[in-house]
Every structure is written in structure tokens, then in C-alpha cells.
Structure 1
């Protein structure tokens, strides 16, 4: 068990949460070479260098598939914009676009009114069947 090995190596401090090691590409390559070429067990490398086991497994897997160059590639991490609100709506510019927008709004309004009417009728029918008087709300 990994935690037993950590305790044996570092004592109680080895059981505390350790900060994540963000290795340089050269560091990653060095420890992956230790695992792959020198056949040092993954667990031993994790304990010795303080890297995450899952990160090391991912690096080794990537190198096996794509070679050592994959460790030197820059990841393009796109950040989400700080303002997570909706993007601004496109304002209709031409008369045709304005009419199409109004038509879409009126269709949605019409569909909503039909739905409300159907729900009111359904509620009145249920109340009629149960013998209750419909409420005025």
C-alpha cells in the first residue's frame, strides 16, 4: 500500500497532503525515462519524486503512444471568460430581420397562450369531475 510506504519513508509527515508537483517538460521526461528505460516501479518513482501517481501514469501512457516529444508540447488551455453572462444578442438590422424577429416572438407568445389555455381547461375539467368549484385565481 502506498500510504504505508510513505509512512515508512517520511514518517507522519508523509501521510499529509502534499502540494502538486508541476514539473517542467525536462523533469517529466527524466522521470518517465526512469520508469520506462530503467524499469523502476511507478510507485517507487512517485514516492521518490513526489509526483502524483495519476499524473505519472498519464505521462507514461502518452510517451508510449506519442513519444517523448509529447511532454514538451504546450497545452493550449483556454480559459472561460470572467463574465459568464450570455453573449449579447444580435440586433436585427434590416427590415426583414426585424419582421422575422417579431414573427418569432409572436409565435412564442402564441404558443405560450395556447399552453396556458389548455392547462386552465384541464384544471377546470379535473375540478368539475371532483365536484369542486373552480377557484378564481
Structure 2
């Protein structure tokens, strides 16, 4: 397959649209300010729950194959969103950094998943 394969073009364009819409949504939902150095761990847990609920709603028990492929970047965000205490040992990396990274990955994953059904429906719509 090369870049001229139509499905790859549709997939790339669709993911670009999803990312654009997700970015706007994520910025509006952001629970973090520029001077916030005590980011509440509760935000991380709340966002993880919302991301998992959105995952279950959007993908469900038996998603269409193209929906899954379209949602791969969002799924990746949710999978890597974790606070790893071992990364703090012996370094200047602080728990705050881990919490913010996990929160942002879950938020972006949820935002991407939230936008996926509309884009998928537009692709497969016959009208």
C-alpha cells in the first residue's frame, strides 16, 4: 500500500478532523491553570473514570472495525495515562508532573473518542 490508497487518505483526514475538534473540546474542559503547581490528584482519577466511560460508550462490546482503527490514537492516550511513582526516585521529576501528564492524556483520549462517532457517521453515511 502506498499513500494513494483511498482508505489511508480518509483515515488520515478523519483523524486530523477528530484531533482538531478534540483539541477545542479539551481546552474548554481543562482543569489546570498556568500557575497551578499543586494539581489535585482527584482530577486525575475523575478524568480516568470519564475517559473509560467514554471508551465503553463509543466502542462498546462490538465496535465496527473502522471505528476501532479511527479511535487508535485516543485508545493510546488512555492506555499511557498512568502515574508511575518509580519515575520520581532520584530525579528532579515531581509527582505533579506525572499527575498532569496522566490527566492530559486521559482528557485528550476522551476528547478524541467523543468526536469519533460523528466523523465515522459522516464517512459511512450514504446520504
**Which TM-score tier does this pair reach, normalised by the shorter chain?**
under 0.3
The structure with the largest helix share of the pair is: 2
Relative to the length of structure 1, the TM-score reads: 0.25
Structure number with larger C-alpha Rg: 1
